[in-house]
Amino acid sequence: MAGSRASKAPGIQEQVTRILGIVLEELDGLPRPAPGELREEPSTTRATARLPHVGNLAAGWPFDGFEVERLQDAERWVDVPAELARPDRFVVEVAGDSMLPTLAPGEQVVCEFHRTPRQAGQVVIMARFTGDATKPECALKRFQDTPAAWVFRSDNPAYSEIPVPKAEQPAYPILGIAVFNLTRDAKVR
């Protein structure tokens, strides 16, 4: 294959070797990074890894936006700072404006499967089971625990809170926590 590359573009191999100090044939045998594998990006010195993009998650009224059931089945993978990569983490895209100004539509957010929020007011992936549904409706919301219900709030005052009565919910209503906003390169607060 390397021979056909040189014959299609005479002189290109010599130019690449001269300018970059790389022999093209040497690149053919290099391993490609696997999901979750560290590597250095040529344009920066920041090490990166890959996390699965699992779908669009509501920041508005809850809906089922997950595209995959298992992280390893994701078709799309996103480069993230290496320090954010863990086996229980994934990326979602924000769909909706209920979490403005904290999260905007289209932003990519690293989340972690973590059923227990670390603190009141933390941004979580709420999961509300309705009727006989086997899959929950999900949304990014702020979490508050009260004696009778879990309450999920939006940062945008145009949206009302969503109380989930503890007596009516068949499972704990949190699938994960929002950890880092990739679009803004900042922790989610």
Q: Where are the domains of the chain?
A: 1-30, 31-187
Average pLDDT, the chain: 77
What is the CATH T-level fold of the domain 31-187, as seen in this structure? Umud Fragment, subunit A (2.10.109)
Higher pLDDT, 122 or 64: 122
The pLDDT score that the predictor gives to residue 54 is: 87
For residues 116-120, give the mean pLDDT. 77
Query: Counting Cβ atoms within 10 Å, is residue 96 exposed (0-12), middle (13-18) or buried (19+)?
Result: buried
The more confidently predicted of residues 125 and 132 is 125
* pLDDT > 70 fraction of the chain, expressed in percent and rounded: 66
Residue 18 sits at φ, ψ, to 5 deg, of -65, -45
pLDDT of residue 34: 57
Question: In the structure, what pLDDT confidence band is assigned to residue 12 with cuts at 50, 70 and 90?
Answer: very low
101 upstream amide cis, omega within 30 of 0: yes
More reliable by pLDDT, 66 or 32:
66
Residues 6+ positions from 183 with CB-CB distance below 8 Å: 104, 106, 107, 108, 109
Q: What Cα–Cα distance (Å) separates residue 165 from each residue in 72, 102, 172? A: 33, 26, 11
Contact by Cβ (8 Å): 123, 58: no
